[in-house]
Structure 1
């Protein structure tokens, strides 16, 4: 394939957000990497290569990016980089300067004859925070209760940031960066049109890439294994994380991956994902929605001017769950404590 003219060369960043099927999208992208390459789109073959670019962005290092541009240019391809942490990283500043990393990258690319396109998937903060919490607890990186986690995210700058204008406000006044924001899980598209069948996020992303339409139909399927461990799995992960943080944090650091795998295996064996974790009650839902209402309205004005936030993401009623009797709670606590001790012992002795 002949090299693209300089004005047409594009770096596409799929920036997440977190918990918008990024793992599934990335698995399917990599499964079809050869197909994409044949149609003029190059991407890193392995996630650690994306991480190198992410770290280079954080440190203002151009060389790793230039290396990938050279590869794409040699092959006559556009370049795609997909990492959910980009949504947060691009909004941070370069080496404590005031310039967002996203603008630093856009200017570097433009100076070398490349355009930048940003594609993001946007989720309402209530469901995002619930899903992100289960992920971080499962990873044994968060040990507190859900309400404490939500309060921290809403009041501090964390990697769970979900204020949309904080994440994407840097794009507003820079028309040289093409931007596409896709409502994730909404019954409407960004123009307010009804969606009859829930779209495949991979196909939604491909529709925004410089590819022929037939590539989506030719793509091989993929399945994501990134499943939440359910209410009891979250409780067990919290119990393990809290216990080891207090008693032996060295074991937690050394065996965290093995412990996470053991929790996920046990959760599947016990069928715990069938009873998902949901920490949202009516009061907390309203608190979260009120906190982000102004930013969400501004985001719509800038990126989705034909639709309102509440139309895309209507307020959801509280999920009515069956109350757990005190004796059942005590029995669950006893069983989870026993499972906690068994998993720690088995993992440490086996590792």
Structure 2
């Protein structure tokens, strides 16, 4: 019995896939494909993967919940998704999730979607800014990750150990147009001989993309400035609330913007050069072609940076600063209201008053 593991990478449509799986879990199960939801956190299985990787006592309850769920639900194949898995699969120790499901009697098949690094870097930066986790420049982000980022050649040992049971796909322009959902479900269709019924589920997500980076340069400046000005740690819900407030204000005052690009051509070329050898090595091993052949127009393209500080857009900076001042003034009240609401939700005396 197969266990399909969708392992990312990050910024390759993972959130859209997980949303599709979670929302259609019952219908997928009718086709014999079980996507466990009771043991999923944030609609994916990163908690399970991390609990197995660290072998901590804190994760034992989640592992038991997962095992109980799959034991009581009928299925012909199991489907798990956690893009975090790719980060450990590219390291020597690999992912314990793979061996764990094998020990449970499944045949693990891992899917990894690879993306050209300049585009991934810009997208990762926007996500960090959007979630109020990063307030620096794109160059600062690149420098901070220079020693910790992993080259794709780290996946080569997995090809040797898993053979055909690890599948790499290029998240290139053609893939982005057609949708990663259809690509992934078509592959499962072939493995399970469902004659297109699984691939048809991709139609349910067409036109909707979760977690897609669409921030413009003024909004990016607002989010960065707000994060720098607000003191103290913020919870995930607080960051989400403040980001939504910033987006709403910027939309009202500025309107539609072109998507932010922190890259220029020279910076993109330096990123490409750094990863060239490792990219070609994995492309040859996985697809028997060069990285450039696999990614086509993504390689060597030109970029025009539209960061307000780089372009010297004075009007944009003035508008952003005005919104930052307003948001910073209102933020403490929003945060306090949210915290009071959360306290009442968790206080039994208030909940049943």
Q: TM-score range by the shorter chain?
A: 0.7 to 0.9
How much does 1:229 deviate? 1.6
Q: What displacement does 1:277 show?
A: 0.8
Aligned length: 319
Structure richer in helix, relative to its length: 2
Corresponding residue for residue 59 of structure 1: 54
Between 1 and 2, higher relative CO (CA 8 Å, sep ≥ 6) is seen in: 1
Contact 1:232–1:272 (8 Å) recurs in 2:
no
State the alpha-carbon separation in 2 of the partners of residues 27 and 181 from structure 1: 21
After superposition, the C-alpha distances for 1:153-188 in whole angstroms (9 at most, x for unaligned) are: 2x221xxx352123x23412213670111111244x
Q: CA deviation at 1:290?
A: 0.7
After superposition, where does 1:11-160 map in structure 2 within 5 Å?
11-45=3-37, 46-48=40-42, 50-60=45-55, 64-65=62-63, 67-69=65-67, 71-74=69-72, 75-92=74-91, 99-100=93-94, 102=95, 104-153=96-145, 155-157=146-148
Secondary structure at the aligned position of 2:161 is classed as coil
Give the drift of 1:282. Answer: 1.8
Question: Are residues 341 and 275 of structure 1, via their aligned partners in 2, closer, same or farther at CA, if it must alter by over 3 Å?
Answer: same
Structure 1 pair 144–321 and aligned structure 2 pair: CA distance change class (3 A): closer
Q: What is the Cα-based RMSD across aligned positions, in Å?
A: 3.0
CA distance in 2, matches of 1:251, 1:108: 35
The answer for the alignment partner of 2:186 in structure 1 is: 207
CA distance in 2, matches of 1:341, 1:170: 51
Q: Which residue of 2 aligns with 1:184?
A: 171
Q: Summarize the Cα distance change of 1:292–1:270 in structure 2 as closer, same or farther, 3 Å threshold.
A: farther
Answering whether residue 152 of structure 2 is matched by residue 164 of structure 1, we say yes
* SS in structure 2 of the partner of residue 198 of structure 1: helix
Are the structure 2 counterparts of residues 17 and 271 from structure 1 closer, same or farther at C-alpha, using a change threshold of 3 Å? farther
Distance in 1 separating the partners of 2:47 and 2:311: 51
Corresponding position of 2:318: 334
**Cα gap change, 1:143 to 1:316, in 2 (>3 Å):** same
1:310 aligns with 292
State whether residues 165 and 296 of structure 1, in contact with CA within 8 Å, keep that contact through their aligned partners in structure 2. Answer: yes
Q: In 2, Cα distance between the equivalents of 1:121 and 1:66?
A: 29
| Cα drift, residue 339 of structure 1 | 0.7
Gapped runs of 5+ residues in structure 2? 338-353
Say which SS state the counterpart of residue 112 (structure 2) adopts: strand
SS at match of 1:256: helix
Cα deviation, residue 65, structure 1: 4.5
- Distance in 2, matches of 1:251 and 1:323, equals 26
2:216 is matched with which residue? 230
Relative to structure 1, is the Cα distance of residues 82 and 233 closer, same or farther in structure 2, using a 3 angstrom cutoff?
same
Over 3 Å counting, the alpha-carbon distance change for 1:208 and 1:269 in structure 2 is: farther
**Where does 1:280-319 land on structure 2 (aligned, <5 Å)?**
280-305=263-288, 307-314=289-296, 315-319=299-303
In the alignment, structure 1 residue 349 sits paired with structure 2 residue 333: yes
Return the alpha-carbon distance in structure 1 between the equivalents of residues 79 and 114 of structure 2: 19
Looking at structure 2, the residues matched to 162 and 42 of structure 1 have their Cα atoms a distance apart, in angstroms, of 32
Provide the TM-score with structure 2 as the length reference: 0.79
CA distance in 2, matches of 1:136, 1:325: 18
Does the Cα contact within 8 Å between 2:34 and 2:78 map onto a contact in 1?
A: yes
Could you tell me the TM-score, scaled by structure 1's length? Answer: 0.80
Asked whether the equivalents of residues 231 and 273 of structure 1 are also in contact (C-alpha less than 8 Å), the reply is no
Q: Is the 8 A contact 2:36 2:69 kept in 1?
A: no
Unaligned runs of 5+ in 1: 1-8, 93-97, 190-196
Query: Cα offset for 1:249?
Result: 2.2
